[in-house]
């Protein structure tokens, strides 16, 4: 029986982040472990509500009150089991999820701070490693059926693990030189150290999943070849088409880049250092790209922009401005606009924002300024208002509000336009819809029979928790398509949306 008064006795507390001066001198994770005493105290705040809205907030349907109570009582092995029943990779979500479950925690209704669900989750995930490692599950006899998974992000990996555990032969094809999708070279180590991915991959490999890196499907192997080798194909290629701003004067200048170009180059340097190899942050054509000693301007207000900010400080930027088109959001939930338990529009302060830099809201870039040699030297911005008219976004600059910020490096973190246009699509006979995503039928098949889709490629740029949920659900559909015995868990269907006020 959970403690009904835990939330009255204990306030919400998170472990202290490592000091800024220390953490920006390395690439290690920002958060240290919470420690058993703190996390058991925090798990005690869960009321085990009759209707736990946190379940609906979490796309995976994680059994949050169950494992909160198991942590409260120190029953760690059972907590590990309960968490893994719904989530293949809690070490990723526990570190990286924005935790829509916490926005839906019933404590929020009474003006209390929500349970630290995400922190409890990561502590359970780490306890699994500390208490004997991520042991492979025994795999049943082979079904004799085989599945190709294209793309090795969280969607592809979750599907691969589910299918291998059901006895199917699974091969993951990845065009990059390492497995992990955005977790590997998109998200910096200070948010997710890569040993967490490697440990999980060792488990998948021991469960029979085969990995083929450096294989660009549609180029190095055709769709037809893949279909002849496998009984079903899952496309989980992400939504990596970065939004650009070609109409802005000066976009072609040297020093103006897509954010992902910068992040991937930086993350490759960290990976090389971990392997004892010297490396320099370079673009694919070998041009150096590093923020050291530079004035950096990051355009955009989301996860990607915050990651660029953290990277720029660790590389030794002289100064950083982060620009947002929209006004500063409120600091607390506006219940009229976003009633509980929906995900509120509020100012999100990432740890990277503690580390320096200046956030500038309600501004738009008017021009990237040339230093006379074709290199950017500044960004001319204007204050703006943004409104929606007939579904279109109208941005109006305020006359006389223009000013210039110094900039040697400009990073565009203004979102993604869906999955990339690439040969694989036509070869499989699938098309991008108006959002740049690939539609799925209710059984996760695309327009091509036997070809399934999941993760960002289907949903558009989203979150790891959705990618895992879609990977699990697509695996369930593939299992059934292959005539597998019984059914696998399917936490979401292709039409499922986040909790919303109707």
Binding site for ligand FAD (CB under 6 A): 96-97, 150-156, 173-176, 181-182, 186-187, 191, 216-218, 236-238, 240, 263, 303-304, 307, 422, 424, 455-457, 462-465, 467
| Distance of alpha carbon 471 from alpha carbon 159, whole angstroms | 4
174 binds, among ligand SF4, ligand FAD, none (CB under 5 to 8 A by kind): ligand FAD
Residue 470 and residue 483 in contact, taking contact as beta carbons nearer than 8 Å: no
436 binds, among ligand FAD, ligand SF4, none (CB under 5 to 8 A by kind): none
103 binds, among ligand SF4, ligand FAD, none (CB under 5 to 8 A by kind): none
Q: Does 462 bind ligand SF4 (CB under 6 A)?
A: no
Q: Does 79 bind ligand SF4 (CB under 6 A)?
A: no
Please state, in angstroms and as integers, the Cα–Cα distance from residue 285 to each residue in 215, 291, 305, 344, following that order: 20, 18, 23, 42
- The packing angle between helices 195-206 and 154-165, to 10°, is 30
CB of 367 vs ligand FAD, minimal distance in Å:
26
Per DSSP bridges, beta strands 392-397 and 358-360 are: unpaired
| Distance of alpha carbon 44 from alpha carbon 165, whole angstroms | 34
Residue 368 and residue 379 in contact, taking contact as beta carbons nearer than 8 Å: yes
CB of 99 vs ligand SF4, minimal distance in Å:
4
Q: Does 154 bind ligand SF4 (CB under 6 A)?
A: no
Nearest residue to 3 (alpha-carbon basis) of 60, 57, 72, 55? 72
- Would you state the structure tokens that stand for residue 431, as one six-digit string? 């098309």
Please state, in angstroms and as integers, the Cα–Cα distance from residue 364 to each residue in 368, 379, 407, 411, 491, following that order: 11, 10, 15, 14, 40
99 binds, among ligand SF4, ligand FAD, none (CB under 5 to 8 A by kind): ligand SF4
| Distance of alpha carbon 387 from alpha carbon 374, whole angstroms | 34
Q: Does 103 bind ligand SF4 (CB under 6 A)?
A: no
Q: Does 58 bind ligand SF4 (CB under 6 A)?
A: yes
Tokens 């660029």 belong to 308
Tokens 């198991």 belong to 70
121 binds, among ligand FAD, ligand SF4, none (CB under 5 to 8 A by kind): ligand SF4
The correct pick among 30, 47, 101, 204 for binding ligand SF4 (CB under 6 A) is 101
Residue 219 and residue 177 in contact, taking contact as beta carbons nearer than 8 Å: no
Q: By CB under 6 A, which span of 93-101, 231-239, 372-380, 430-438 interacts with ligand SF4?
A: 93-101
Tokens 């910096």 belong to 188
Q: By CB under 6 A, which span of 98-106, 164-172, 199-207, 492-500 interacts with ligand SF4?
A: 98-106
Nearest residue to 302 (alpha-carbon basis) of 326, 320, 270? 326
| Distance of alpha carbon 165 from alpha carbon 138, whole angstroms | 8
Q: Does 93 bind ligand SF4 (CB under 6 A)?
A: yes
Q: Which lies closer to ligand FAD via its Cβ, residue 382 or residue 409?
A: 409
Q: Does 82 bind ligand SF4 (CB under 6 A)?
A: no
Nearest residue to 245 (alpha-carbon basis) of 304, 362, 325? 325
217 binds, among ligand FAD, ligand SF4, none (CB under 5 to 8 A by kind): ligand FAD
Tokens 């990995």 belong to 211
CB of 117 vs ligand SF4, minimal distance in Å:
5
60 binds, among ligand FAD, ligand SF4, none (CB under 5 to 8 A by kind): ligand SF4
Here's the x/- map for ligand SF4, 3-42, by CB under 6 A: it reads as: ----------------------------------------
| Distance of alpha carbon 472 from alpha carbon 70, whole angstroms | 25
CB of 129 vs ligand SF4, minimal distance in Å:
17
CB of 287 vs ligand SF4, minimal distance in Å:
38
Q: Does 64 bind ligand SF4 (CB under 6 A)?
A: yes
370 binds, among ligand SF4, ligand FAD, none (CB under 5 to 8 A by kind): none
Nearest residue to 284 (alpha-carbon basis) of 416, 177, 153, 182? 177
Residues 464-483 that bind ligand SF4 (CB under 6 A): 465
CB of 227 vs ligand FAD, minimal distance in Å:
14
Q: Does 62 bind ligand SF4 (CB under 6 A)?
A: yes
Q: Does 60 bind ligand SF4 (CB under 6 A)?
A: yes
Would you state the torsion angle of the CA atoms of residues 341, 304, 267, 316, taken in this order, to the nearest 10 degrees?
-120
CA distance from start to end of the chain: 34
- Which residues form the interface with ligand SF4 (CB under 6 A)? 57-58, 60, 62, 64, 93, 97, 99-101, 117-118, 121, 465
């Amino acid at each position: 029986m959970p403690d009904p008064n835990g939330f009255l006795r204990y306030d919400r507390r998170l472990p202290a982040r490592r000091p800024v001066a220390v953490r920006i001198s390395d690439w290690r994770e920002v958060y240290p472990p919470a420690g058993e005493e703190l996390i058991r105290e925090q798990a005690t705040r869960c009321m085990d509500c009759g209707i736990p809205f946190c379940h609906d907030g979490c796309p995976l349907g994680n059994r949050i009150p169950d494992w909160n109570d198991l942590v409260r009582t120190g029953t760690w092995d059972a907590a590990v089991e309960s968490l893994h029943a719904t989530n293949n990779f809690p070490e990723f979500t526990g570190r990286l999820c924005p935790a829509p479950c916490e926005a839906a925690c019933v404590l929020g209704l009474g003006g209390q701070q929500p349970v630290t669900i995400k922190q409890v989750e990561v502590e359970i995930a780490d306890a699994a490693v500390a208490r004997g490692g991520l042991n492979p599950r025994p795999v049943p006899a082979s079904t004799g059926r085989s599945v190709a998974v294209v793309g090795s992000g969280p969607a592809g990996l979750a599907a691969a693990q589910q299918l291998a555990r059901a006895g199917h032969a699974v091969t993951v094809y990845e065009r990059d030189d390492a497995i992990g999708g955005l977790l590997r070279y998109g998200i910096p180590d200070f948010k997710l150290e890569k040993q967490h991915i490697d440990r999980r991959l060792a488990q998948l490999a021991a469960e029979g999943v085969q990995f083929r890196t450096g294989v660009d499907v549609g180029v190095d192997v055709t769709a037809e070849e893949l279909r002849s080798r496998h009984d079903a194909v899952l496309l989980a290629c992400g939504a990596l088409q970065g939004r650009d701003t070609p109409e802005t004067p000066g976009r072609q200048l040297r020093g103006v880049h897509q954010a992902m170009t910068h992040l991937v180059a930086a993350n490759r340097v960290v990976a090389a250092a971990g392997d004892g190899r010297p490396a320099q942050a370079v673009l694919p054509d070998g041009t150096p790209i590093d923020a050291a000693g530079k004035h950096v301007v990051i355009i955009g207000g989301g996860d990607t922009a915050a990651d660029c900010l953290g990277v720029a400080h660790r590389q030794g930027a002289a100064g950083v401005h982060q620009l947002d088109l929209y006004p500063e959001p409120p600091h607390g939930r506006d219940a009229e606009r976003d009633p509980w338990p929906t995900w509120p529009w509020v100012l999100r302060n990432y740890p990277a924002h503690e580390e320096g830099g200046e956030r500038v809201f309600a501004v738009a870039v008017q021009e990237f300024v040339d230093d006379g040699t074709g290199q950017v030297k500044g960004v001319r911005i204007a204050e703006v208002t943004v409104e929606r008219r007939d579904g279109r976004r109208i941005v109006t600059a305020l006359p006389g509000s223009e000013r210039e910020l110094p900039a040697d490096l400009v990073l565009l973190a203004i979102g993604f336009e869906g999955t990339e246009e690439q040969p694989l699509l036509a070869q499989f006979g699938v098309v991008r819809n108006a959002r740049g995503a690939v539609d799925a039928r209710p059984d996760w098949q695309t327009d091509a029979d036997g070809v399934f889709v999941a993760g960002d490629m289907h949903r558009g740029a989203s979150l790891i928790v959705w990618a895992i949920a879609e990977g699990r659900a697509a695996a369930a559909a593939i299992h059934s398509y292959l005539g597998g015995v019984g059914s696998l868990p399917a936490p979401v269907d292709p039409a499922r949306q986040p909790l919303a006020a109707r």
